[in-house]
Chain A
Amino acid sequence: MKMRNLLREGIWTQHFKKRFLLMKCISSRTYQNQRCLNLSSYNYLGFAASDEYCTPRVMESLETFSPSTCSTRIDCGTTVIHQELEEMVARFVGKPAAMVYGMGFATNSTTLPALIGKGGLIISDSLNHSSIVAGARGSGAKVQVFQHNTPSHLEQVLREAIAEGQPRTRRPWKKIIVVVEGIYSMEGELCRLSEIVSVTQKYKAYIYLDEAHSIGAIGKTGRGVCEHDGVDPAKIDVMMGTFTKSFGSCGGYIAGSKELITYLKHVSPGHIYATSMSPPAVQQVISALKVILGEDGSDRGARKLAQVRENSNYFRQELRRMGCEVLGDENSPVMPFMLYNPAKIPAFSRECLKRNVAVVTVGFPATPLLLARARVCISASHTKEDLDLGLEVISEVSDMAHLKYFPQMESFSKVKSV
């Protein structure tokens, strides 16, 4: 109660714990504070907050390089740590070379125009992210869509496209790029990568894999969907990913062959015109990668990877037991569960917030009008107590909002007391 009184007077609380974020009312700045369990941020490996290995090194790099280089990569924005990061990313993903950008959205929207232009065809999954759509539109190539995660439909679209050629002129396409994502964050589904790769290889199309959510979170050593599906990274032509989610930083990367990266560095506007990635953010990724790879001398990385998998599977299992309709595949740390009714969107979110749990709810136009959902992002830093608290609150609110669309498998309270 004392805390509540303090908060109502508008005093900031200074301490900050790893898995809690101080929340503020966004719309009208009431200056009220509330401690919440954060089930909403993309913090899969728990690097979001101050970390014992990463933060001191980040502060050192801040001292050496300042928060910004005020320059593009090609002028004087390339520092030794940028080069180090590019080498590390290439090594991590299993490609010969990589390049980094300062923003994940800009990575897609400036690389796709550099790779393909008029006379080319982009075949994109129907549920691809808006950055891919922006990049595809900006490139000038024709765009066709295939049914979400359906390799057979992709094959059909490819066959038709190659047989018919460009519309009106019927000239053969200059090149075809198939764009897919590693994890689709609104569905929690993993890409059927091995099948899609075999289709694209059969028809000589290039494949561009966007691992924004899956890098660092999926796969035994965090190397993403390729590792999970057993696909050789050499078969993927262009691998893209972001550092925002699993590495607790900002920015994105493109990995590919040495020649591809040399060419992209020469052409991509994100490299030539955009301010280079902030050096402390670069250092954060380098340190996070070192932890994940175990090069920091400890096994924290391996433990984090195992923890996020365990946490996600536990949470998903419990949500299913409760009777909630959870979407997505095993091992995916992002799990949406259905609300369906658009009226339940604000109800669910606000009731959870009242009980100090922060969840994200998504409606139209990110999802179809009647397929609204709530989305939970699990982190390696969540302890079992945190997860149980979250489950309890979600169960309570789901009961209120009648979200338990499926029959309960066993009584949830029985499970909790075990």
Chain B
Amino acid sequence: MTMGGMVQNLTESLATMLDAPLADAVVFGFHIDGHFLLETLLVVAIAFLLLQKSYQPQKRPLTEQEVDQLCEEWVPEPLHPPITKEMEYNPPVLESAAGPRTVVNGKSVINLSSTNYLGLIGNSKIKEACNAALEKYGVGSCGPRGFYGTIDVHLDLEAKIAQFLGTPDTILYSYGLATASSAIPAFCKRGDLIIADEGVSWGIQNGLLLSRSTIKYFKHNDISSLEKRLEEVFQEDQRKRKALNRRFIVVEAIYQNSGLMAPLDEIVRLKEKYRFRIFVDESNSIGIFGKNGRGLFEHLNIPVEKIDIIIAAMGNALASVGGFCSGSSKVVDHQRLSGAGYCFSASLPPFLASASIAAVEIIQQDRERQKMLQENVAFLRRNLSEIPGLTLGSDPLSPLVYLYLAKSSGSFAGDNAILQKIVDQMLEKSVLLTLKKRSVLDKCKLPTGIRIAVSASHEKSDLLAVSLSLKEVVQSILSS
């Protein structure tokens, strides 16, 4: 068809359309003229409706008055919950040093509550060292380690502990509780993996929380559970091929919450097999186990190089305050800039550092104390095992002896009430015991019991008297 022909066709059809009558529709039986106009109008109407924006309520920010109203209406919870009778517990108040015998309410009582394992409270050499330090340095160190708070006794103590344990270097912290809370986050960050025992103490739990790493727990002191967890991790690695991350196992040598002893040799074997690193908290085992009192690793003949990081509080066998972390030079140097409790907190008071130095020297020279402690522990356990109504927990060698009710009353609260009654009555009989309390913030679910801390300086006669009184008291309470 030619161009001219096409144009002609177009104009013809246009003319036809325009000439057509304006409407020619039959709507509902009514004849309407002009259909073209109607259809055009319909098309226009449809287009208009389609192009309309759909209804959306406008997003308005809150006005000042509305914010005021919300602020007025908001009712905060009280700062603390209402005080219950349980909260008003008053601990015994000592009037003398917390040695094997102490004075409470004017009466001399046998003290089975303070973790004075080697009997170093009241030791004259330690007191002399403290006096000299007090004369020279005063009490506080008035500054963090980085800001002229490092006193020569700190460096001496770090060197002493490193030499004692056989590790390259040690770092001191000014508080036992802050040691684990600072050491663990220094090495573990988000994305790292930590496998910890479910019965670890609060200090370690806090460190695990602050580290933001992935935490997996294994059953308390159960080596097969640990192996299972490690195997799971290994299998997952094989499957997923994730990026490399730091992996740690965290255990305590003697668990504060149960007195059980960790099978450290097995754990070290597993950590080598699965390529993990290990943190061991030797707070309750340093000075007590091993030929030279170095701790659990010496007792189990594990070379100290295999333990990556040792942390310990000095508030137990060393009869001082503070904590330390020991390991390779790199481990220790890293904490000097990354340990929160080291960089941002005042250093240990010099007299306590002197006390620790003296304590370590005594441990190195006097091996008798360790023997006495073991004898006392064995003696006490023999006598306590004969008490009907109570079961002995904890490892036979552990200086922490836990006593639980043989038959539970059905709930933790009920058991604790009975045990607290026993403790109160024992105090009347001049024996200071303690029912281990747990904070609501503590995630550990192990049962609590009466915790006895045996000391090398306890007299056997006192320990015998304690067992006999305890037998009487338990009998009277359980029969009522």
Contacts and interface: CB of A to CB of B under 8 A. Distances in A.
B301 to A, nearest CB: 29
B74 A360 contact: no
A55 B135 contact: yes
Interface string B341-375: 10111101101100100000000000000000000
A206 to B, nearest CB: 5
Interface in B147-170: 147-150, 152, 155
B117 to A, nearest CB: 8
Contacts of B210: 134, 137-138
Contacts of B138: 47-51, 55, 248
Contact of B95 (A62, A69, A80, A113): A80
Interface in B35-89: 62, 66-67, 70-71, 74-81, 83, 86-89
Nearest to B90: A78
Given A16-B136, A163-B71, A263-B81, A104 B202 contact: no
Interface of B is mostly: loop
A130 interface: yes
Contacts of A103: 174-175, 177-178, 341, 345
Contacts of A162: 67, 70-71, 74
Given A41-B148, A71-B114, A266-B89, A280 B351 contact: yes
A250 B349 contact: yes
B18 interface: no
A125 B74 CA distance: 23
A244 to B, nearest CB: 4
A260 to B, nearest CB: 5
A67 interface: yes
Nearest to B355: A67
Contact of B155 (A29, A55, A263): A29
Q: Is the interface of A mostly helix, strand, loop or mixed?
A: mixed
Nearest to A29: B155
B140 A68 contact: no
B174 A250 contact: yes
Contacts of B447: none
B437 interface: yes
Contact of B79 (A74, A115, A173): A115
Contact of B91 (A78, A134, A245): A78
Given A66-B121, A79-B95, A49 B137 contact: yes
Interface string B107-144: 00001011110000110001100110011111111110
Contacts of A203: 71
B396 interface: no
B96 A64 contact: yes
Contacts of B81: 263
A73 B147 CA distance: 30
Given A76-B94, A206-B79, A269 B143 contact: no
B341 A41 contact: no
B134 A68 contact: no
Contacts of A274: 175-177, 203
B127 A69 contact: no
Contact of B121 (A70, A249, A269, A280): A70
B92 interface: yes
Interface residues of B, number: 94
A175 interface: yes
A279 B62 CA distance: 56
Which residue, of B71, B126, B139, B438, has the highest number of chain A Cβ atoms within 10 A?
A: B139
A308 interface: no
B441 interface: yes
A274 B349 CA distance: 17
A137 B190 CA distance: 14
Contacts of B436: 75
B148 A40 contact: yes
Given A76-B434, A269-B439, A273-B439, A105 B94 contact: no
Contacts of B206: 109, 138, 269
B76 A173 contact: yes
Interface stretch (B244-252, B313-321, B469-477): B313-321
B98 A272 contact: no
Given A103-B178, A269-B442, A70 B346 contact: no
Contacts of A71: 98, 113-115
B97 interface: yes
A32 to B, nearest CB: 12
A68 B352 contact: yes
A198 interface: no
Interface in B313-346: 313, 315-316, 319-321, 340-341, 343-346
Contacts of A70: 98, 114-116, 121, 315-316, 319
30 contacts: A16-B137, A42-B143, A49-B138, A59-B131, A63-B127, A65-B96, A66-B98, A69-B97, A70-B114, A71-B98, A105-B341, A105-B344, A106-B177, A106-B341, A130-B340, A134-B340, A137-B210, A173-B74, A244-B142, A248-B142, A249-B140, A249-B349, A263-B87, A266-B439, A272-B437, A273-B177, A275-B177, A277-B321, A280-B134, A360-B147
Interface of A: 14, 16, 21-24, 26, 29, 38, 40-43, 47-51, 54-55, 58-59, 62-71, 73-80, 82-83, 102-106, 109-110, 113-115, 129-131, 134, 137-138, 158-159, 162-163, 172-176, 203-206, 237-238, 242-245, 247-250, 259-260, 262-270, 272-275, 277-278, 280-281, 284, 358, 360
User: Which 9 residue pairs across A and B have the least CB separation, nearest first?
Assistant: A275-B315, A103-B175, A105-B345, A71-B114, A263-B80, A274-B177, A41-B142, A76-B113, A266-B87
Interface of B: 62, 66-67, 70-71, 74-81, 83, 86-89, 91-99, 102, 111, 113-116, 121-122, 126-127, 130-131, 134-143, 147-150, 152, 155, 174-178, 181, 201-203, 206, 209-210, 313, 315-316, 319-321, 340-341, 343-346, 348-349, 351-352, 355, 432, 434, 436-442, 451
